[in-house]
Structure 1
Amino acid sequence: MPRPPASVIAALEAALQQSPDDLDLRQHLAQLLHDDERPEAALELCVGTLARDPAHLPALRLAAPLARQLGRPTADGYARLLAALEPAAPPPAAAPAPRPAPVVATIGAPSEAQDLVRGERPGLRLAADGGERVEEFEVQAPSVSFAQIGGMEGLKKKLELSVLGPLRDPELYRAFGKTGSGGLLLYGPPGCGKTYIARALAGEMGARFASVGLEDVLDMWFGESEQRLHKIFDSARRLAPMVLFFDEVDALGHKRSELRGGAGRNLVNQLLSEMDGAQHDNTDVFVLGATNHPWDVDSALRRPGRFDRTVLVLPPDVTARERILEHHLEGCPHAGVDLPALARATELFSGADLAHLCNLAREAAIEASAAAGRIRPVGHDDFRRALKTLRPSTLEWFAQARNFAMFANESGVYDELLDYMKRHRLG
């Protein structure tokens, strides 16, 4: 299929900025981005559609295969929700099928994974993959920590001071009225490792970790989504110390002023209620959210006691880029690749961009090996040629973020972003 003209995509993107609630326009653009081999951007639009209309069938039909292609854990959930909403499902007049009874969990045998988790509680079962399973989500004991994140020292220091301090020295912070509960919002360009950083942060905490996706919350029956969200938080409180990670949190906590119908507003209100420390004891329950669009998150979620700390996750620095490139070349025959030079040449590349760059270089070496009839290692020239065909995907995000950062920065939350853009001449 030929790629759509760039001028058409640009025109539709401009139109969507003027009419962000035009779901037909949004999905038409998502399909064009899919045809243009830009799966992350297409999936992002689908998530925005589902935030406004969780039962939007075209968005679900496109989101499910895209999420599977990108290796997102949300893929199965989109597929299940789509299966429930397809026309082949039981007619509305029919009574809903009864939900299966929850499996009664039992304590599993001791293991290294359990040893990593503090304060074992009853009601858990050790899963085969090293995680634990409750009815609402899978609980994991992350084996990664900040030691596995190359570079990004400024980000790690900020997380150390704002998040880990109350946990490492609770008596000191308790004397000043602070506990290990609260919320942190990670935002920045897609593909820069927000999910990995969330797992590493949980690993540093020594706490259980659960990733909660849109499909874990949304339900086709009225009022069920709010109940699911309540159960998720109830389980987290029971299993504390616990890190709850909400990916694409703007889809769950979208600005209520932009939502159509009461169902979306009710879900945002429920999320506000669960995070409100005045109504629930969230001690040792830490909520992490990740979003590419912080400006779409309801302002009430940014108030103290909720996502009251915001951290910008920028493209990897030169040290991190070298580590990422080295990681993606592990197990691959290569020779003469100047990793420091490549790291310097890939400024503003996201982690996903760097992975794509390595894939292109490997494909060139495979093609050359097939033609020569022998293995030809990946060389620096393969990377040099691949770089000529790529540009950082983060540039689109910075172009979109610029106006929000400049004109919606009353509280100074985007000061760091504006400073970064100024230093890198991004606007």
Structure 2
Amino acid sequence: MPDHSPLVQSLRTAVAGAPDDVPLRLHLAELLIAGGHHDEAVAEAAVALQHAPGDPQARELMARAMGVPPQAPEMSAQAPEVPPQAPEVPPQAPEGPPSPAGFNWKAAEDQVGDVVPPRFVETPKAAEAPQTADGADVPGDASAWEVEAPHGVRLADVGGMQDVKDRLEAAFLAPLRNPELRKLYGKSLRGGLLLYGPPGCGKTLIARAVAGELGANFLSISINDVLDMWMGNSERNMHEVFETARRQAPCVLFLDELDALGAKRSRTAHSGMRNTVNQLLTELDGIDAGANEGVFVLAATNVPWDVDNALRRPGRLDRTILVLPPDAPAREAILRYHLRDRPVANIDLRKLTKATDGLSGADLAHLCEAAAERALLDSARTGTVRMIGMQDLTEAAATISPSSDPWFASARNVAMFANEGGMYDDLVTYLKKKRKL
């Protein structure tokens, strides 16, 4: 990129922070033309026209940047009239909006096509699932559920949380990666994994990362995908979810909010909900031997003590991992991620990481949003666009309380009085470490 004056660089930063500000972008284009950077001016004018189609100043700047000669002045009213001659075959009008004399907007669009991406990308519509005469989805059709193809998210992309990664490797991933050792030691692939902990701490991201590690499809299911007002439909939906995962194997089936899908039947008054839990137990076992081969079941919940005990029986969701608020490396990675596209200056991530101990991933995202809002409002009041600074972030952090505190208040009672069989030993260890027990 050619060298620019400090003013042009400052304007570039301001435009990056306010991409919809057309006058600001046109001012930048004007300075680029004055500095002889016509290609860059063309790109800025093209973006301005995307936001404000037909803007006369943007069109005029585009023409100047592309070297089109200015339009000739119109004939004076006092000039003698010239009798018009019969024209020959009139030229065909160019497509698109009216343009300045001699300016070919189609050619301009072709020239900047590789520089300026389209504002909106049209995605082809997915084929509709076949339906019965009454409009219901045909049972057994895989397109009734949204199965994500293998993607590039891996555990290495999850910042920090090394203890969680180590436990995932030992309990779940290592046997899958080493089939010969698995056969040697008689290690079964049956059973699933239950992730639990306070909300907003990345349980869903970890499940996607596990699917990425396995190179497997990913199918996420919540209570809205299963429950139905008509008797028997919820059980059918649960069966079809597992059938879809089996057809798409290898597939990670992620059951979100398991406490809603698999609530304790002793506390459930509605028989339909109890039948849904029974169906879930049946599907986890597999109707036939090896029916769930290649289906890896992961579940997440904030309240594991409300999950039916039968779901945690060996061979079902028998392995449990506590997902806690992010540690220091994870907080730094999350803050860096949420600030990456914002105009920031002189941010001490190490200091900010120390000041945000105890905040969840969702809290950290809210922190970055609040700091950006402070800088935006200040810029609007003063009329001068400024960067997001360390003070914005520290002041925003001082106003945010950890959203996980209410969860730990409830979990403390469970850890103290309902830790049968050492089910919540990890939670007890953490609470003692943080002196919350």
Q: Same fold (TM over 0.5)?
A: yes
Alignment partners' CA distance in 2, 1:100 and 1:407: 47
Matches within 5 A, 1:161-240: 161-240=170-249
Matches within 5 A, 1:333-344: 333-344=343-354
Mean Cα deviation higher: 175-184 or 402-411: 175-184
Q: CA deviation at 1:396?
A: 0.8
Alignment partners' CA distance in 1, 2:220 and 2:323: 18
Tell me which residue corresponds to 2:7.
none
- Secondary structure of the 1:236 match is helix
C-alpha contact 1:350 1:393 (8 A) present in aligned 2:
yes
Q: CA deviation at 1:339?
A: 0.8
Q: What is the Cα-based RMSD across aligned positions, in Å?
A: 1.9
Match of 1:266 among 272, 275, 279: 275
State the number of aligned residues.
305
- Secondary structure of the 1:374 match is coil
Task: Give 4+ residue runs of structure 1 displaced > 6 Å after superposition.
Answer: none
Q: CA deviation at 1:175?
A: 2.7
Alignment partners' CA distance in 1, 2:286 and 2:184: 18
Q: CA deviation at 1:104?
A: 10
- Secondary structure of the 2:228 match is coil
1:375 aligns with 2:363: no
- Secondary structure of the 1:416 match is helix
Alignment partners' CA distance in 1, 2:139 and 2:340: 41
Tell me which residue corresponds to 1:248.
257
Tell me which residue corresponds to 2:21.
none
Amino acid aligned to 1:192: C
1:141 aligns with 2:177: no
- For structure 2, the residue ranges without an aligned partner over 5 or more in a row are 1-131
Amino acid aligned to 1:372: T
C-alpha contact 1:170 1:179 (8 A) present in aligned 2:
no
Q: CA deviation at 1:213?
A: 1.4
Matches within 5 A, 1:288-307: 288-307=298-317
- For structure 1, the residue ranges without an aligned partner over 5 or more in a row are 1-95, 106-132
Tell me which residue corresponds to 1:18.
none
Alignment partners' CA distance in 1, 2:140 and 2:237: 18
Q: CA deviation at 1:103?
A: 10
C-alpha contact 2:207 2:254 (8 A) present in aligned 1:
yes
Alignment partners' CA distance in 1, 2:140 and 2:284: 27
Amino acid aligned to 2:183: R
Alignment partners' CA distance in 2, 1:278 and 1:97: 30
C-alpha contact 1:247 1:289 (8 A) present in aligned 2:
yes
Q: CA deviation at 1:136?
A: 3.2
Q: CA deviation at 1:374?
A: 1.9
Amino acid aligned to 1:158: R
Mean Cα deviation higher: 136-145 or 256-265: 136-145
Tell me which residue corresponds to 1:351.
361
Matches within 5 A, 1:59-208: 98-100=134-136, 102=138, 134-208=143-217
C-alpha contact 1:179 1:283 (8 A) present in aligned 2:
no
Match of 1:410 among 412, 415, 420: 420
- Secondary structure of the 1:227 match is helix
Q: CA deviation at 1:412?
A: 0.7
Tell me which residue corresponds to 1:394.
404
Tell me which residue corresponds to 1:3.
none
- Judged with a 3 Å threshold, the aligned counterparts in structure 2 of structure 1 residues 279 and 330 are, in CA distance, closer, same or farther, namely same
Q: CA deviation at 1:101?
A: 5.1
- Judged with a 3 Å threshold, the aligned counterparts in structure 2 of structure 1 residues 415 and 104 are, in CA distance, closer, same or farther, namely closer
- Secondary structure of the 1:151 match is coil
Q: CA deviation at 1:279?
A: 4.7
Alignment partners' CA distance in 1, 2:172 and 2:140: 34
TM superposition score normalised by structure 2: 0.67
Deviations, residues 350-380 of structure 1 (Å, cap 9, x unaligned):
0000001111111111011112212211111
Q: CA deviation at 1:140?
A: 2.8
C-alpha contact 2:218 2:253 (8 A) present in aligned 1:
yes
- Secondary structure of the 1:411 match is helix
Amino acid aligned to 1:99: G
Amino acid aligned to 2:232: G
Amino acid aligned to 1:208: N
Alignment partners' CA distance in 1, 2:415 and 2:140: 49
Q: CA deviation at 1:134?
A: 2.1
Alignment partners' CA distance in 1, 2:279 and 2:254: 17
C-alpha contact 2:256 2:300 (8 A) present in aligned 1:
yes
- Secondary structure of the 2:422 match is coil
Alignment partners' CA distance in 2, 1:400 and 1:292: 11
Alignment partners' CA distance in 1, 2:369 and 2:241: 38
Q: CA deviation at 1:99?
A: 3.0
Alignment partners' CA distance in 2, 1:233 and 1:355: 34
C-alpha contact 2:139 2:240 (8 A) present in aligned 1:
no
Tell me which residue corresponds to 2:284.
275
Q: CA deviation at 1:208?
A: 0.9
Tell me which residue corresponds to 2:336.
326
C-alpha contact 1:338 1:380 (8 A) present in aligned 2:
yes
Deviations, residues 264-284 of structure 1 (Å, cap 9, x unaligned):
111111101110157552122
Alignment partners' CA distance in 2, 1:308 and 1:151: 25
- Secondary structure of the 1:244 match is strand
- Secondary structure of the 2:320 match is strand
C-alpha contact 1:409 1:415 (8 A) present in aligned 2:
yes
Alignment partners' CA distance in 1, 2:292 and 2:372: 48
- Secondary structure of the 1:99 match is coil
Tell me which residue corresponds to 1:313.
323
Identical aligned pairs, as a percentage?
Answer: 54
Alignment partners' CA distance in 1, 2:264 and 2:151: 32
- Secondary structure of the 2:359 match is coil
